[in-house]
Structure 1
Amino acid sequence: MTSYELCLRIWMWCGWNTELTQHVHDSPHGVPVPAPLPAADGRTLVPIRDEAGQDRLARLMTFTAGTPLDSTGSSPRERERVGEILAKLRHATAGFRHPADDKLCAWDVRHLPALRPLLSRVADPAQRKVLTAAFTRFTQVAEPVLPQLRTQLLHNDFSRSNILVDHDDPAFVTGIIDFGDAVHTAIAVDVSTALLNQLPRDAAQRPVDDLFADARDVLHGYLRFADLTETELAVIPHLVMGRVVARALITLHRAALIPGNTTYILRNTEQGWGQLAWFLDRTPDEISSALL
């Protein structure tokens, strides 16, 4: 790929991301997102050259007030509000189309099998053993079901850091940000990402019987506004596990490539070992029934 082709692709990705945010903002589903603001000439993406002489794309968005959910707690009812917004966001993105919406995203867990080469690069033998066991289970249990799942354009990164909240606001959720990983993928994948981000972070130090206790609140809220089939509900827990595996493989690999930024890159990786232990301590059938 030439540098010109790369610039065109980046422009397309940035452009469609901005267009998607505007589409959600304008939808009738009531999802709170920042609005792109046009420049004087009407463009929402403006090429600039920074002080270092690097070519950049700049955009301006309206400010969205709130506290990132990963900086505060939440009650069961507030988590249900989170699920309700996820469902409404699914409806808001359903009608959007763009040439870049089928981009290959490493964080789309449907593509976890393509990350297999990263297993051999995990330096810690114990971690490599756990990841290999979970990876194998994913390919045996979840991968065969993937072609059966309904797909559409989805946010694909409904993490607590991308959800702004206000405990004094009856709606609780005041904003959804960061559409950078949005992609055409399975509805079940999008839900699994949201549920993953509600799992206990200290499962290794404080083992639990029900890893999905808090996540189930989100699911209850989601199902008020959007449906899931029995097949989707059965595979979602396995997709959650797959996302934990993907997160470990991607972040461990990136940390090895960029050792000066390991604290940031690995900030969510450590919690995954306790979560994977929970999954691997149970049979695939037990996992499949976790949300049914």
Structure 2
Amino acid sequence: MTVNTSPAPTYAQRLLEESGLTSSHQPIDVMLVSIFLEKHYRLGGRFERLATEKDDTFRLSTESSTYLVKVSPPEEAEPVVALQTAAMRHLESTASHLPVQRVKLTADGDDHVTVRMNDGRTRILRVFDFVEGQVLADANPDAERLARAGEMLGLIDVALREFSHPADRRGLAWDIRHFHQLTELVEHTPEPEHRRSARSVFRLFGENVVPRLRGLETQVIHGDFSPYNIVVDPKSDHYVTGVIDFGDTLRSAVIFDPAVPMANLLGRTPDDPWRDACAFVAGYQRERPIQASELPLLPVAALARLTLRALITNWRAERAPERREYLLEHAKDDWINVERSLAVSLDDVVAHLREARHGHS
């Protein structure tokens, strides 16, 4: 009899695995994708593979339209994919005026196709309308345009308020509510000053957010309203013309939804690192006001999210030596922005958020 002497996986390891961050899979053959699209969607055309975190993703150009084709990784549970699709379809049916990416149905009226692979595992193929335009990350928005982006997330969260799904309590490493349970990731960060910054943020989160976690207002949220998932048009009155990628949708604390774009905006203006993040939240609160008692937690949650991104990038760099240089270079800016943002009094940031809230109440 063989005895398994390997240590039991930690909470962090289990969460990273459940989030699809520990495994890799062979890219799906584009010929197989084309066969399924022809059979189930009556679609054919020119394929372009796009780089994404987990899915196999393609841009499909037909004679008349352009589509986004996604094939879920084999590790992603089917109910989780169904949650993402259901949230998008809920928004289409209850808030059709919002520019959320649309799900294209099959010829039989289904919203996905199950692909059974040779190894016995299943993957989910879905087709979406392709949202053309510039992403916010490539734009240079002023405060009012950032507020417009914030308004859009507020409107989405209002529309998702009553939505529920059997898989909406999924585990996801990117969900900020788990941040305090991922302290072991610090050990994968090579620079001592980065480890010190991370521990400072863990301390802030532990003192301010953790005692309040159970009582925070919750609902299903977008989960990744980053500047790369917001399509904009500077000439449009609405500014935001597309919202894409519901891959991190789940039920969590409401404040963790605006905390994600806040984290992405921290440090954009080095002399005033919180300026753009606060502009975004001012817009968000016009549509989805944050409870006064929860507002002080928002800057800490944003710092936690930015720190988490840097920590996971460092952890990935250790696991993928061939991409180490690329990954560490990308994490470097995150650490700089964490340090810049920590240097500002969070009481002052909260005061600024409160002023903006009252200015639009």
Q: Same fold (TM over 0.5)?
A: yes
Q: What CA RMSD, in Å, does the superposition of the two structures yield over aligned residues?
A: 2.6
**Aligned in 2, Cα 1:67/1:266: closer, same or farther, shift over 3 Å?**
farther
**CA distance in structure 2 between the partners assigned to 1:291 and 1:60 by the alignment:** 39
SS of structure 1 residue aligned to 2:255: helix
**Aligned in 2, Cα 1:284/1:164: closer, same or farther, shift over 3 Å?**
closer
How many Å apart are 1:289 and its aligned residue? 3.5
Deviations 1:81-112 (A, max 9, x none): 10110110001211211111001111111110
| C-alpha contact 1:37 1:61 (8 A) present in aligned 2 | yes
Q: Does 1:41 align with 2:108?
A: yes
1:1-292 equivalences under 5 Å are 10-28=77-95, 30-48=97-115, 55-201=122-268, 203=270, 208=271, 210-262=272-324, 265-266=327-328, 268-283=330-345, 285-286=347-348, 288-292=350-354
**Aligned in 2, Cα 1:7/1:69: closer, same or farther, shift over 3 Å?**
closer
Unaligned runs of 5+ in 2: 1-13, 15-72, 355-361
**Aligned in 2, Cα 1:77/1:41: closer, same or farther, shift over 3 Å?**
same
- Whose helix proportion is higher, 1 or 2? 1
| C-alpha contact 1:29 1:92 (8 A) present in aligned 2 | no
Deviations 1:96-132 (A, max 9, x none): 1111100111111111011011122222222222212
| C-alpha contact 1:20 1:93 (8 A) present in aligned 2 | yes
Amino acid at match of 1:107: W
SS of structure 2 residue aligned to 1:184: strand
SS of structure 2 residue aligned to 1:230: coil
**Aligned in 2, Cα 1:8/1:122: closer, same or farther, shift over 3 Å?**
closer
**CA distance in structure 2 between the partners assigned to 1:251 and 1:200 by the alignment:** 18
What TM-score, normalized by structure 1, do the two folds share? 0.87
| Range 88-97 or range 270-279, more displaced | 270-279
**Aligned in 2, Cα 1:179/1:263: closer, same or farther, shift over 3 Å?**
farther
Instruction: State, as a whole percentage, how many aligned pairs show the same letter.
Output: 30
| C-alpha contact 1:154 1:187 (8 A) present in aligned 2 | yes
Unaligned runs of 5+ in 1: none
SS of structure 2 residue aligned to 1:158: coil
SS of structure 1 residue aligned to 2:114: strand
**Aligned in 2, Cα 1:284/1:198: closer, same or farther, shift over 3 Å?**
closer
| C-alpha contact 2:268 2:276 (8 A) present in aligned 1 | no
**Aligned in 2, Cα 1:28/1:260: closer, same or farther, shift over 3 Å?**
same
| C-alpha contact 1:237 1:290 (8 A) present in aligned 2 | no
**CA distance in structure 2 between the partners assigned to 1:114 and 1:239 by the alignment:** 14
Structure number with greater CO (CA < 8 Å, separation at least 6) is 1
| C-alpha contact 1:81 1:218 (8 A) present in aligned 2 | yes
**CA distance in structure 2 between the partners assigned to 1:62 and 1:86 by the alignment:** 20
Matched pairs, number: 283
How many Å apart are 1:165 and its aligned residue? 0.5
Amino acid at match of 1:30: H
